[in-house]
Amino acid sequence: MNWNAFITCAITGAGDTVGKHPAIPVTPAEIADSAIEAARAGAAVVHIHVRDPETGRGARDPALFREAVERIRGSGTDVVLNLTAGMGGDLVFGSGEHPLPLDPDGTDMAGPRERLAHVEELRPEICTLDCGTMNFAEGDYVMTNTPSILRAMAKRVKELGVRPELEVFDTGHLVFVKRMVDEGLIESPLMVQLCMGIPYGAPDDPGTLLAMVNQLPPGTRWSAFSIGRMQLPYVAMAVLAGGNVRVGLEDNLYLERGVHASNADLVTRAGEILRAMNVRVLGPAEVRETLELRAAA
């Protein structure tokens, strides 16, 4: 049991959620405003993706990250910034008997330095590394993160003084996390996000979660989340298993059946669940101390 937990809010993600919710944050201003509201509701960390303002699709343009980050920092709101570095690993094959050529509409592959361009410029306290390759949901999309790409990204993130949040979607990803630790690419304390219930990664049943928790290296600071209707139950599940919490519109659109949520709504509900369990919710300063974060640029 974790009696002192922090809440991360994943603001918008890159998934196909625009049009499925009346107020998915799309523009940098909307993303920043939603992050600020989530922080004021009790999120110590905000996890930031950006989207193309014209299409609503996930993007990795450093200028979009820059505007969102500058707006959050300029607001005077105290919150830990966690920027995704997951974009640039999208591989979409052709369907059926013709896997090649790749689908140009969905494929976006970039090298390690290009994937980290916004991190290098903006120097957030945390950035994510998706620690493996997997079939991601339906169709012909593969989330692609090869060992050589991940090693190069981890090395550069370490040089920048940014804490990597190691996103683990399945047991093999955790094996590679341990390999990177052994190779000196990841500094202590280890920060892991267990991403549960995403097809076709680790399912979000309690047995699988506990099996993954039991494989974490000693001293790991970790969080866990699930998607859709399991997001809010996982607030309790994560702390019961000894971890921290993630909620947000990246992973779930509803506060309850038929009621669309805002990020602030989800953070508020998570805080209510935690306090009802007598868990103390940590603020940004305590998270910086716990994760031994270096000051942002």
Q: How confident is the model at residue 294, as a pLDDT?
A: 85
How far apart are alpha carbons 262 and 164 in whole angstroms?
27
Is it the case that residue 297 has pLDDT exceeding 80? Answer: no
Share of the chain above pLDDT 90, in %: 94
Among 47, 37, 71, 8, CA closest to 265 = 37
pLDDT in tens, 82-127: 999 999 999 999 988 999 999 998 899 999 999 999 999 999 999 9
pTM across the whole model = 0.95
Percent of the chain with pLDDT over 70: 99
- pLDDT reported for residue 180: 97
- Contacts of 117 by beta carbon, 8 Å cutoff, 6+ apart: 60, 62
**Which DSSP category does 4 fall into?**
E
Q: Which superfamily does 4-86+111-132+145-291 belong to?
A: Aldolase class I (3.20.20.70)
Confidence at residue 114, expressed as pLDDT on a 0 to 100 scale: 97
What is the average pLDDT across 261-282? Answer: 98
> In this predicted structure, what is the pLDDT of residue 296?
61
State the Cα–Cα distance between residues 163 and 186, nearest whole angstrom: 9
**Alpha-carbon span 156 to 152, nearest angstrom:** 6
pLDDT at 96: 86
Across the chain, what does the average pLDDT equal?
A: 96
* Res 70: pLDDT: 98
Q: What is the pLDDT of residues 275-292, one digit of tens each?
A: 999 999 999 999 999 999
87 to 60, 201, 280: CA distances (angstroms)? 6, 18, 34
Q: Has residue 295 got a pLDDT over 80?
A: no
pLDDT digits (tens, 9 = 90+) for 152-194: 999 999 999 999 999 999 999 999 999 999 999 999 999 999 9
b/e 88-98 (16+ beta carbons within 10 angstroms → b):
bbbbbbeeeee
